[in-house]
Copies of this chain bind each other. A is one copy, B any other.
C-alpha cells in the first residue's frame, strides 16, 4: 500500500511546471479572447518535454510512462490555463500504441501530431456508440466505417473535438456496418476530411467540428477495449486539468481573503468566506483523490477505469465550477472584471464541463457502473 506520488512522478510534475512557466499563459488566455493569434504555440514545449511519446513504448521512441503520469501533466497545464493539445494527443497515442501503428515513431518524436476523434461508448441509458451533437442534447451516431481489408472509409460528423484544428493525423473511434467499434487513422489532409475550427467562450480551448465524407484511412488493430480505454482516459485527462485549475482558484482566493479587509477584519476571518473556501478545498481534495484512483486504475486495474475516470470527471468538473464561482465571489465585484484572472478560470470551467460528453454524463456513468455491480470491487481492499 503506497498511494503517493513516486519521486519520478514528483520530478515529472516539476519539469512540466517549469516548462510551462516560460510563457505567461494566463495573460495569453485573456488576450486570446479578442485575438486568437495571441495564443502562444506550446507544441514545441510539449515536444521538448517529451509529452508526444509519454504513453508510447520505449521501443518505439517513447518514454513508456503510464496514464497516471499523463494526468500529472494535464494537472499542471490546468493550473496555468496552458493551451497544449494534450486532450487530443494522449488518447490518440494510447490507441496507436495499442495497435502498434506504423506512425508511432513520428508521433513519439513530435513530427506528426495526432488527435483523438472520440466516440462515447455505450454503457448507460443511451445505447450504441455516439458522438457530441453540434447543439442540443440529442446525440448523433458515431462515424460509420466501411471496411475493405486494412482500409476503412468514413462517413459522419463529430462536433466539438478538442485539439482537432492543426492535428495531422486523426485517430477515429467509429462503428462498422454492424455497429461494432472500429479504430481508424486518417490523415487530416485526406480527401473527404474537413475540420471546422470552433472556439467558444474559453479561447485557450481549440475545438473543431470534424466531418468525414468518404474519407479513406487505415484500420487500426485496436478493439473495443482499447477504444473504451481511450474514452475514459480522455475523461480522466480533462478531470486532471480541472483539478489543476481548481488549485489555482483556491490559492488566489485564499491569498486575497487574507489581505482584503472589511469592517476592520480580513474577510477570510468571516465564516461565510472561510467555510466557502474550505468547501473548495474539500471538493479539490476529493477530485484529486479520484484523479489518483483513475490514474491507478488505468495502470493497474483497467476493469475499474470506467468507474474511476467517470467519478474523477464528475467530481473535478463540479469542483472547478464551484471554485471559479467562489473565486469571483470572494473578490466581490472586482472578480468579475476583465483584467482579473478569475473570469478566465470561470470561462474554462463553463466550457470544459460541457465537452467530451459533459460532466453530467460522467455522473450518469458512475451510477450505471454502481448499478451493474462494479462497485463492490472498487479499489482493492474491503
Contacts and interface: CB of A to CB of B under 8 A. Distances in A.
Q: Interface residues of A: mostly helix, strand, loop or mixed?
A: helix
Interface in A245-272: 270-272
Contacts of A271: 270-272
Contacts of A275: 272
Interface residues on A, range: under 10
A271 B268 CA distance: 12
Nearest to A270: B271
A367 to B, nearest CB: 15
Q: Report copies per complex.
A: 2
A272 B276 CA distance: 10
A267 to B, nearest CB: 11
A271 B271 CA distance: 6
A279 to B, nearest CB: 12
Interface string A271-283: 1100100000000
A270 B274 CA distance: 12
Q: Which of A270, A271, A275 has the most CB of B within 10 A?
A: A271
A272 B274 CA distance: 10
A158 B29 CA distance: 60
A270 B272 CA distance: 9
Nearest to A272: B271
Contacts of A270: 271
A38 B316 CA distance: 52
A299 B130 CA distance: 51
Interface in A271-312: 271-272, 275
Interface of A: 270-272, 275
5 contacts: A270-B271, A271-B271, A271-B272, A272-B272, A272-B275
Q: Identify the 5 closest CB pairs spanning chains A and B, nearest first.
A: A271-B271, A271-B272, A270-B271, A272-B275, A272-B272
